[in-house]
């Protein structure tokens, strides 16, 4: 294996943005595998789900929203704590920023480290990073399990359906229209990042999403899924990746191999099936490291710092 540039520092190609109408009330802002933003337009207010990485990048979301409605953007929902999804929040000037209590706890515990780590990993995704205000993005409302908002007659449920991509994962669900915004619990034609994941729980959480029978789904990365068949494909692809990785890493751990050997074998096993998904080479070292941790001595994800990122990369790709 030849030496690879750290994480996505060599990824400099801008992506094409799509703003897709899913219903009278739901839109998806997607960008060929870059992080997505969901938009829900109620009778009296707009809700944004995941913000983009910087306020300057969020301005493009706001521009698209203003092409379809002049209602105020009152709510920002954070599907989880990752910096690439939350640091654009200030641009919307929302009345409230809503997250699960578990996500709030993760921001307290590791928000600063995550911010530094993510900006270092993927500079292109933090365009105009100087527009991010100092400090962190703090939720103003937290919930545990389930929270329902009524945007006039439109019911929006915020649900914790289990751990997966992180401990605090939240999905937004429109029961009247059967549209789901999954955050990074589901990806489509994009590699799931699992560096902060719970491999043991993620497949069941995907089954819990499937049990809602969504007809349309906005994944964390990749195109909006606009038929039940496409939703099924997105759920199945994400689940297969997580289960295939866990099986490969577990085989190596059982055989007593070290992390570097497990990484090389897991990469070789998964590359033929998933190597065409965006950010595959970026995610694999983080994902395998976390999976190896979970199967050995760390039930909860260890905190990634900019320094730990580099050390890990050097160990696996150096
Ligand atoms: Zn994430």
This prediction's pTM? 0.96
How far apart (Å, rounded) are the C-alpha atoms in residues 165 and 237?
Answer: 15
Q: Of 26, 70, 71, 75, which is closest to residue 48 (Cα–Cα)?
A: 75
Is 243 part of a structural domain of the chain?
A: yes
* Any domain includes 237: yes
Retrieve residue 138's tokens. Answer: 């703090």
Ligand 1 center to 132 CA (angstroms): 18
Residue 156 lies in a domain: yes
Ligand 1 centroid to Cα of residue 182, in Å, is 11
Residue 2 lies in a domain: no
pLDDT per residue as tens, the chain (318 positions):
456 888 777 777 788 999 999 999 999 999 999 999 999 999 999 999 999 999 999 999 999 999 999 999 999 999 999 999 999 999 999 999 999 999 999 999 999 999 999 999 988 899 999 999 999 999 999 999 999 999 999 999 999 999 999 999 999 999 999 999 999 999 999 999 999 999 999 999 999 999 999 999 999 999 999 999 999 999 999 999 999 999 999 999 999 999 999 999 999 999 999 999 999 999 999 999 999 999 999 999 999 999 999 999 999 998
Q: Where are the beta strands (DSSP E) in the chain?
A: 18-21, 26-31, 34-41, 46-49, 73-77, 96-100, 141-143, 146-151, 154-159, 171-174, 179-187, 216-221
Please say whether the beta carbons of 238 and 206 come within 8 A. yes
- Cβ–Cβ under 8 Å, residues 94 and 47: no
Gap from CA of 80 to ligand 1 centroid (Å): 7
What is the Cα–Cα distance from 142 to 147, expressed in whole angstroms? 9
What's the CATH code of the domain at 70? 3.60.15.10
Is 207 part of a structural domain of the chain?
yes
**How many Å apart are CA 221 and CA 190, to the nearest integer?**
6
Q: How far is CA 15 from the centre of its chain?
A: 17
181 falls within a domain: yes
Alpha carbon of 168 to ligand 1 centroid (Å): 11
**Domain of residue 146, residue span:** 7-317
Domain count, the chain: 1
Residues 6/121, Cβ–Cβ less than 8 Å: yes
CA of 184 to the centre of ligand 1 (A): 5
Residue 280 lies in a domain: yes
Rounded to the nearest angstrom, the distance between the alpha carbon of 211 and the centre of ligand 1 is 23
Q: Looking at the domain assignment, is residue 1 inside a domain? A: no
């Amino acid at each position: 294996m030849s030496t690879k540039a750290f994480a996505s520092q060599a990824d400099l190609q801008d992506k094409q943005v799509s703003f897709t109408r899913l219903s009278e009330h739901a839109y998806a802002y997607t960008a060929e595998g870059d992080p997505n933003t969901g938009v829900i337009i109620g009778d009296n207010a707009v809700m944004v789900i995941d913000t983009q990485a910087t306020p300057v990048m969020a301005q493009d979301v706001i521009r698209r929203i203003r092409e379809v409605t002049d209602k105020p953007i009152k709510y920002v929902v954070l599907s989880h704590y990752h910096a690439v999804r939350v640091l654009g929040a200030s641009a919307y000037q929302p009345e409230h920023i809503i997250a699960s209590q578990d996500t709030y706890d993760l921001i307290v515990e590791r928000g600063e480290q995550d911010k530094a780590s993510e900006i270092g990993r993927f500079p292109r995704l933090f365009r105009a990073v100087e527009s991010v205000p100092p400090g962190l993005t703090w939720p103003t409302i937290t919930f545990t399990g389930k929270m329902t908002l009524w945007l006039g007659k439109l019911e929006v449920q915020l649900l914790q359906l289990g751990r997966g991509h992180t401990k605090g994962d939240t999905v937004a669900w429109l029961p009247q229209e059967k549209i789901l915004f999954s955050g990074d619990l589901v990806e489509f034609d994009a590699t799931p990042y699992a560096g902060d994941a719970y491999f043991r729980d993620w497949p069941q959480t995907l089954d819990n999403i499937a049990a809602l029978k969504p007809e349309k789904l906005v994944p964390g990365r990749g195109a909006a899924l606009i038929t039940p068949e496409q939703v099924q494909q997105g759920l199945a692809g994400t689940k297969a990746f997580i289960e295939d990785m866990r099986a490969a890493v577990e085989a190596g751990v059982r055989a007593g191999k070290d992390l570097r050997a497990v990484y090389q074998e897991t990469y070789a096993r998964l590359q033929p099936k998933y190597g065409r998904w965006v950010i595959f080479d970026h995610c694999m070292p983080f994902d395998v490291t976390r999976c190896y941790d979970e199967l050995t001595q760390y039930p909860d994800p260890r905190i990634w710092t900019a320094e730990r990122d580099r050390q890990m990369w050097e160990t696996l790709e150096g």
